[in-house]
Amino acid sequence: MSDDPRRRPPSWDPGPPSPARRRALAWRTPLAVAALVLYLTWLAQPARIGNPALYGLLVVAELFNVVHALGFWWTCARAGHRPHRPVTTRVAVDVLIPVYGEPVDIVEPTVAAARRLTGAEVRVAVLDDGGSPEIEAMARRQGARYVRRTVHRGAKAGNINHALTTTDAPFVAVFDCDHVPAAEFLERTLGHLEDPGVALVQTPQWYANADRNEVAAAAGAQQELFFGPISRGRDARGAMFCCGTNMVLRRSALEAAGGFPEDSVTEDFELSIRLHEAGWRTAYVAEVLSAGLGPEDMASYASQQYRWARGCLGAIPRILRARLPLGLRVQYLLSASYFLAGWTVLVYGSLPVVQILTGAQPVAGATADEFLLRFGPYFAMALAMVAVAGRGSYTFRAFALAAASWWIHVRATVAALRRTRGRFVVTPKRGSTGRQPRAVWPSLAAIGVLVVAIVVGLSRDRSPATLNNVTLAVTHLAILAAGVAPALRRRPVAAAATATTREVAAA
């Protein structure tokens, strides 16, 4: 039996929560808002201003998080369930699988599974930008069409757009080459496209290798929060966007939008804006209908995150200019601006360091008692909301990995401001087995700074104020350390994460 994790049944259900959990979320939301207001009104008092510059930074960071917390609660408040719509007519679907240098044993299960899709007349095309003879042979072996471009332009978007010119089915399904679709994928999604106003049906991404790789596990937990309550909530508000894989598109809508935008590294995000501007609607089916492979090492994760961050941050001006209803615009802004969160990590981590080294404090005129009375409930409620809405899927490791990615957001912001052109880098499908300190060096440098601050603080005095800041520094250090730890460990040679060609052929 194959050891490919993508062949196992999914261990995650992104579907709607139980009534009890929905009630739990409902009564917590007003409490969370009240706690937030209590904290913000306390913090906003002029008497709280310590060092004005630090106070300003703290307030900006807190406001950013508050906006995102409110956005999250607002989105989750309507996280409902889209009922299944059965397919009533048999249609043709072009299943496009872009490939760019991935090994055959990664791609072949996807092609084989695509060939087995039911519920429509399926025409599978392998879009090989890598020009690999092995991939070509595999496509032939699996009975799929092999498409190779002569002019390589526009990365993945260009590859798909080229394929669109050689195919003609009214619907187009796109799968990344490591995402193995379930046989009923089209049966569960095509029904929604019978509504002529719907341009896109998106389904979740689920990392099947999460149980055998800690980076994939943490990245998978982040995905589960997004494709769980957030995507269900977006769908309820008509704001689900295209996520690049595991989706079905209406060809006419796609062509009307000019195909996938080739000038963005997040072509899916940009395409969604165009579709919504043109008045098309999108749908989200909260069922795991494909199994993919998450990034298995820190370099892959960093590369993926940078691409997303660069693309989304670069899209902010486009969102502001877009002709979108307010609710949709806010949802897009929330998604795009999430990638500024790294700046808040930088601010929070810097505050204790600055206090220890210079004595400057952002907040004044408050005892720890008063601060905790306001901040404690807000902090606790914010986490409780994440825990309840995400049904415990969002883990500390996911949080730590996100926090340790602060520098990716900073770098992407700078690149977006300088309008440096992003480059589409395919996320590696197999992780490195060695240590990768270079992939996380900014966080390692931050850890070094925190260590210095801690040593300086402890050697200076043991007053409660200093100890408090030292402990804050220790807290940041622990979070960053947990985030970068996978990069500093050797990974055993990957237990065969994928099926061999022979196994696929046998299957």
Partner 1 sequence: MTSPTAAAELEVPRRGLAGRLVDAGREQAVVASGQAVAGLGNLAFVAVAARILEPGAFGRLAAFVALHTALHLPGAGLAASGAFDPARARRLERRCATAGWAAAAVLAAWSAPIGRVLDLPTGFVLALAATAPIAPLLGLRRGLAYGGRRHGTLVRSLVAEPVTRCSAGLALAVVAGATGAAWGVVAGGWISCVVLGPARRPRHAASPPRRAGGVAVGVSFTLLALLQHLDLVVANGLLDDAGAASFATLSTVGGLVAFATATLPLVLLAPTEDDEPTRLALALGAALAVGAGAVGLALVAPGTVIEAVVGDEYLGTRHLLAPYLGAMAALGIARVLAAHHACTGRSRRVAVTLVGVTLAFGAGLALFGRTEGTVVAVSTTSLGLAALALAVPSGRPHHAPRRRPWSRARDLDVPFLAGLFVAAVGVRVVTTRSLWIDEATTVAQARMPFWSMLDDLRRTDVHPPLHHVVLWATTRLVGTGELAIRAPSILAGALTVPAAYGLAREAFDRRSARVVAVLAVPAPFLVWYSQEARMYALFMLAGTLAVWAQLVALRTGRTAAYVAWALAAAAMVWSQWFGLLPLAVQVAATVVAVRRRAPGGPAATRWRGPLVALGVLVVALVPLVPLLADQLAEYAERGAGLSPAPSAVGLDASGVERATVSVYAVVANGLWAVTGYHADGVMEQLGALWPLAMLMVLAALGRHWTGRTKLVAGVAVLPALGLFAIGYLKRDLFELRYFALLGPLLLVLAGRVTSTLARTRASLVAATTALAALSVVALVDQQLNGANPRLYDFRGAVHDIVADAGPTAEVALEPEYLHTVVHYYGPDLDTTRVRGLDASRVGEDGIDVIVTERFIGSQAASALVGRSLYELEQRFGPPERIERPNVIVWRFR
Question: Which residues lie near partner 1 (CB under 8 A)?
Answer: 221, 368-370, 372-373, 376, 379-380, 383, 386-387, 392-399, 462, 464-465, 467-468, 471-472, 474-475, 478-479
SS3 state at 122: strand
What DSSP state is assigned to residue 261?
-
With residue 42 as reference, give the H or E element that holds it.
Answer: helix 19-43
CB of 202 vs partner 1, minimal distance in Å: 25
Q: How far is the CB of 33 from partner 1 (least distance, A)?
A: 20
CB of 86 vs partner 1, minimal distance in Å = 33
Give CA–CA dist 121/137, Å, rounded: 23
Q: Which residue, 122 or 221, is less far from partner 1 as judged by CB?
A: 221
What's the min distance (Å) between Cβ of 169 and partner 1?
41
Q: How far is the CB of 399 from partner 1 (least distance, A)?
A: 6
Which residues share a beta bridge with 207? Answer: 292
* Pick 363 or 472: Cβ nearer partner 1: 472
In the complex, minimum distance from the CB of residue 389 to partner 1, in angstroms, rounded to a whole number: 12
Which residue, 227, 235, 232, 229, is CA-closest to 388?
229
In angstroms, give the least distance from the CB of 468 to partner 1.
4
Cβ-based nearer residue to partner 1, 284 or 348 = 348
Element (H, E) at 126: strand 121-128
Question: Which residue from 425, 413, 199, 202 is spatially nearest to 315, judged by alpha carbons?
Answer: 413
| CA dist list (Å): 127 to 77, 96, 255 | 40, 7, 18
Contact, 183 vs 116, CB < 8 A? yes
* 300 CB burial (10 A radius; 0-12, 13-18, 19+): buried
> Closest CB to partner 1 among 415 and 467?
467
If the CB atoms of residues 343 and 371 are measured against partner 1, the closer one turns out to be 371
Report the relative pairing of strands 92-99 and 121-128 from DSSP bridges. parallel
Q: How far is the CB of 349 from partner 1 (least distance, A)?
A: 12
CB of 207 to partner 1, least distance (A): 15
Q: Which is closer to partner 1, CB of 248 or CB of 354?
A: 354
Q: Are 51 and 363 in contact (CB under 8 A)?
A: no
* Cβ atoms 50, 363 nearer than 8 A: yes
Query: In terms of CB distance, is 346 or 467 closer to partner 1?
Result: 467
What is the 3-class SS of 243-255, one letter each residue? CCCCEEEEHHHHH
- The full 3-state SS of 339-378, as one line of letters, equals HHHHHHHHHHHHHHHHHHHHCCCCECCCCHHHHHHHHHHH
Q: Minimum distance from CB of 76 to partner 1 (Å)? A: 16
**Cα separations (Å) of 360 from 363, 461, 494?**
9, 16, 49
Output 63 or 481, the one with its CB closest to partner 1. Answer: 481
Sheet containing strand 198-202, edge to edge, reads: 145-147, 121-128, 92-99, 171-174, 247-250, 198-202, 281-284
Q: Please identify, using beta-carbon distances, which residue of 245 and 469 lies nearer to partner 1.
A: 469
Residues 6+ apart with CB under 8 A from 419: 314
CB of 222 to partner 1, least distance (A): 11
* Integer Cα distance of 280 and 110 in angstroms: 29
Residue closer to partner 1 by CB (options 11, 252) is 11
Nearest to partner 1 of 91, 467 (CB atom): 467
